[in-house]
A = this chain, B = another copy of it.
Amino acid sequence: MKFDILITDCTLLPAPGEEALISSGFIAINAGRIAGLGPMAECPSDATGTRIDGHGQLAMPGLVNGHCHAPMTMFRGLADDLALATWLQDHIFPAEARQVNPDMVYACAQLAVAEMLLGGITTVADGYFFEDEVARACADTGIRCVAAQAVIDFPAPGVPDPARNIEAAHRFLEHWQGRDPLITPAVFAHSPYTCSPQTLRRAKELTRHFQAPFFIHAAETRDEIAQIADPMAATPIRHLEALGLIDRDTVCVHCVWADNDDLDILAERQAGVVICPQSHLKLASGRAPLLAMLNRQIRVGLGTDGAASNNSLDMFREMDLAAKVQKVMPCDPVAVPAARILEMATNGGAEALGFGLGHGLLAPGSPADLILIDLQQPHLQPFHNPSLLVYSAGAADVRTVIVNGTLVVHNRQLRTIDLQASMDRVRQLAISS
């Protein structure tokens, strides 16, 4: 039997939301999909293909980063320890106005992809300006991306006239739909407080027309509640609901200040939610009501947010913090166990973004998006429990990454990006700006 790739003798965690491990297993990959997996005893004896020895390593689905602004690697650490409004208005927006252009977006997105792939992320949902360049960087480097063109009612990089923001998003969707197996084009309306009701409605209509995902930052900070254009809607989520924007293809990002009524709406409409605990804490936005979301069977994913507000694109740190912050606010160590967090970072996150069942799982027929983690590390021994993936593993433990059946990282070497050149290029851009 001929396979494209055959991974042997690894520990297998097929469904990270369940704790069942196969202690010595194999995975066979063909034509971008998982062709088979199981205990080594069941590995076809005549199997051939590019062999990867998984001894001492754990294979699991690749991580799904539910929210990112990849090109913001440019602003990593530029303005730390500030409140969100100050950070955004006094530092990030001016820096973006000066520095964001297509070349910068491609170069900085490429650096972000390098960091994400090396940290075991195989799918990312991104939103930014000049999103064409992000999509191109992702397609070129081999990461799966839900790429969303940003829409905002201010002059923005690439869209100096906000009256043409929907037109730009339209062009983006038209260009990318069906173009590349790795790219799902989408639209990112910045927020209820930076987009008029009309813009929001038009953006959503556009995504309905293209059957594309619609993203929006919502209920991130307490202050945001006061800034909603419609004084009749008590909260950002109810404002969006009143506009008819919340449905199965809408993903609300943050939802830190979503109240119970908001969560009921999100559950009833079957909207997706992505939370970004590191960003929420670093910008002092608050703590998202994760348990209340999960109790309502809302599809919830985890995201790193951009590198300017985190400051890493590291889903391992994100998982660790997501779990811990839910334990302490309020005090309940049992509320959201590690397995639920792992699920949110893999198939749960994929579902929140609108991917079909099987995405984010190791199962026959699933997209071959998977990672190998080196367990032969002092901080992962003894390996009593997969909870160590949340509470002790780190991005640097990822040794091998496969996306859509293609080997993009092997033995910690990126095969699709010249890492040194990528870092040099972004550093050069940062210095010269």
Contact = CB atoms under 8 A, between A and B. Distances in A.
Interface stretch (A40-48, A173-181, A182-190, A385-393): A385-393
B333 A83 contact: yes
Contacts of A154: none
B324 A77 contact: no
A309 to B, nearest CB: 10
A332 B284 CA distance: 6
Contacts of A314: 379, 392, 394
Interface in A352-402: 376, 378-379, 381-385, 387-388, 391-392, 394-397
A331 interface: yes
Contacts of A327: 81, 281-284
A233 interface: no
Nearest to A278: B324
Contact of A392 (B312, B328, B337): B312
Given A324-B321, A385-B80, A423-B376, A394 B391 contact: no
A333 B282 contact: yes
B392 A77 contact: yes
Nearest to A397: B396
Interface string A27-59: 000000000000000000000000000000000
Contact of A281 (B284, B328, B383, B394): B328
Nearest to A334: B81
Interface of A: 73-78, 80-84, 87, 111-112, 114-115, 118-119, 222, 278, 280-287, 307, 310-314, 317, 320-321, 323-325, 327-329, 331-334, 337-338, 376, 378-379, 381-385, 387-388, 391-392, 394-397, 419-420, 422-423, 426-427, 430-431
